[in-house]
Amino acid sequence: MERLTKRLPGGGYAAEGRGEAELTEALGRFEDQYESIELELKLVKQNLQDLAGAGKARSATYATLAGSRFMLEDMLKRIDEPSEDVTRRLEALRRETEEEPGEQRPDGDSQKEE
């Protein structure tokens, strides 16, 4: 993914060299994605309710939908997180993924597969 913005050291973001149309397009796509997740979650919850009402709360379909519900709720929760929390997680993930296989993690575990 190519970022359109850069995080500023004091907080906030800058979009140097990007036009308003490009930024508006990206924001629109983001809003469409967010709304899509919300509506999908609403549909999943309704389907779960219908299955439970039909006595099928122990079915494979119910279990699959419950997993989808948890995933969609987590996606929305992450998007709605304060930017400082997101930045900390992003930096930690970058450090994790930039380690070479077999390097020692700070907790002393090796990432090397055996």
Lowest-confidence region among 15-24, 26-35, 74-83, 92-101:
92-101
27 falls in which pLDDT band (50, 70, 90)?
Answer: very high
Distance between first and last Cα of the chain? 32
**CA R_g for the chain:** 20
Does 110 have pLDDT greater than 60? Answer: no
- Contact, 51 vs 65, CB < 8 A? yes
The pLDDT, as a whole number, for residue 55 is: 98
- Contact, 75 vs 37, CB < 8 A? yes
H helix or E strand, kind and range, residue 46: helix 20-53
Tokens of 60: 């494979």
Does 63 have pLDDT greater than 50? Answer: yes
**What's the whole-number average pLDDT of the chain?**
89
